Structure 1
Amino acid sequence: MPLTLHHLGLSQSERIIWLAEELNLDYKLVHHKRDPIFAPQSIKDLHPAGTAPVMEDDPSTVTQSRVVLAESGAIIDYIIAVHGKGALAPTPKDGSAYPNYLEWYHFANGSLQPALFRVLMARGPASDPNSPVVVRTLAKWDHLLSMMEDRLAETGAYLAGEMLTAADIMTFFTLTTMRGFCPVEYDVEKHRHILAYLKRVGERPAYRKAMEICEGKDFVPLLSAKAEQFSLMKR
């Protein structure tokens, strides 16, 4: 079993565990605990980035030696290409699903995740809610949600089209678990297609299994309109 996946609790690394479960891969899982909020030394020792996720492939069939990768997108691309036989990643032969996949796959960490992180910073105790920067930050987040709402209304299923792809796996963390750090709410009417999407994906057996593996049986994924802030953020 050459593939080792390192998971930091309540982090983007849930994406990689979910991907592995969707692909039905064999892998070794290593859990890491936050210290107290950020990544512990055990994660920093694996890769200079010092953040989760981290993947080890030892030996890799690509290099015939140990490969260690950080960055969600890089890990997902590697696993799909090397271990997943190209599944969950449309190619040009898939027609319109291909450009749609590319755009939404990169949208996740290129636009959506940074925007929610900026919302988190804008809500800090020293921030001025009337500041042009704060107003613009919140407007940007609302605009990105509107883009997703329109896309999901169009497909009635997933971001690239009728089938789940790695674009959904990349995006879902920001729409769900990340809200435990920054509890944004969804409007039940304005965001009804996003909420239907959360329910649809949340019912997938691989997603449910992955979240139980990552956070335990008692963890309830943040799939509803409202989300409570994680206790670790209240210390």
Structure 2
Amino acid sequence: MPLTLHHLGLSQSERIIWLAEELNLAYNFVHHKRDPIFAPQSIKDLHPAGTAPVMEDDPSPVTQSRIVLAESGAIIDYIIAVHGNGQFAPTPKDGETYANYLEWYHFANGSLQPALFSVLMTRGPASDPNSPVVVRTLAKWDQLLSMMENRLGETGAYLAGKTLTAADIMTIFTLTTMRGFCPVEYDGEKHKHILAYLERVGERPAYRRAMEICEGKEFVPLLGVKAEQFSLMKR
């Protein structure tokens, strides 16, 4: 098994494990524990970025030598192209689905994740909930959720269309596990399509396997209206 996937507990690297499980890939799994909140030295030793995910392919079919990649999108693109026979990544031959896939695939880390991170950074215990910065960041988050809600209402299934793609694999972390760091809530009516989407994903055997591999049997994915803050954030 030349492919090694490094996962930092409670992090976006869950995306890579989920993808590998959807593709039924053979891989080595390495779990890294936060120290105490951020990435430990073991992650920093793997790649100059010092963040998860990190993928090692040794030897890579592309170079016949060891490749080490960071960045979720780069790793997902690589795995799909090199080990996944192009699955979960529509191409121009798929017409409108391809255009939708491109937009939502890049939306995940280009818009959605930064928006929730901004909420996390501005909405602390000592912050004024009525301050312009807090109001603005929450408004942006709400706007992006509305975009997703409308899109999922149109497809009735996934972001690019009727089937799962890497756009969904990139997106779900922000809508679920990331909320353990920043416990935003969903509105049962206003976000009904998002909640149905999360339920749909939560029923996928590969997703359930991935979350158990990443966080253990006792971990309950944050798929519902409310999300409790992780204990590591309360120290």
Partner of 1:174: 174
Cα displacement (A) at 1:125:
3.3
Give the letter aligned to residue 149 of structure 1. E
Q: Distance in 2 between matches of 1:101 and 1:43?
A: 30
Give the letter aligned to residue 120 of structure 2. L
Aligned to 1:128, the other structure's residue is in SS state: coil
Aligned to 1:162, the other structure's residue is in SS state: coil
Give the letter aligned to residue 97 of structure 2. A
Partner of 1:187: 187
Cα displacement (A) at 1:134:
1.3
Task: Give the alignment of 1:141-160 within 5 angstroms.
Answer: 141-160=141-160
Q: Give the aligned CA root-mean-square deviation in angstroms.
A: 0.6
Large movers: runs of 4+ above 2 Å: 125-128
Give the letter aligned to residue 85 of structure 2. K
Q: Distance in 2 between matches of 1:138 and 1:207?
A: 29
Q: Distance in 1 between matches of 2:212 and 2:104?
A: 26
Task: Give the alignment of 1:63-142 within 5 angstroms.
Answer: 63-142=63-142
Task: Give the alignment of 1:6-85 within 5 angstroms.
Answer: 6-85=6-85
For normalisation by structure 1, the TM-score amounts to 0.99
1:41-78 per-position Cα deviation (integer Å, ceiling 9, x unaligned): 00000000000000000000101110000000000000
For structure 1, the 5+ residue unaligned runs are none
Give the letter aligned to residue 97 of structure 1. T
Cα displacement (A) at 1:144:
0.2
Q: Distance in 2 between matches of 1:133 and 1:220?
A: 32
My pick for the range that moved more, 128-137 or 38-47, is: 128-137
Q: Distance in 1 between matches of 2:103 and 2:128?
A: 34
Cα displacement (A) at 1:119:
0.3
Q: Distance in 2 between matches of 1:152 and 1:220?
A: 24
Partner of 1:197: 197
Aligned to 2:164, the other structure's residue is in SS state: coil
Q: Distance in 2 between matches of 1:13 and 1:170?
A: 10
1:68-121 per-position Cα deviation (integer Å, ceiling 9, x unaligned): 000000000000000000000000001111000000000000000000000001
Give the letter aligned to residue 122 of structure 2. A
Q: Distance in 1 between matches of 2:226 and 2:127?
A: 23
For normalisation by structure 2, the TM-score amounts to 0.99
For structure 2, the 5+ residue unaligned runs are none
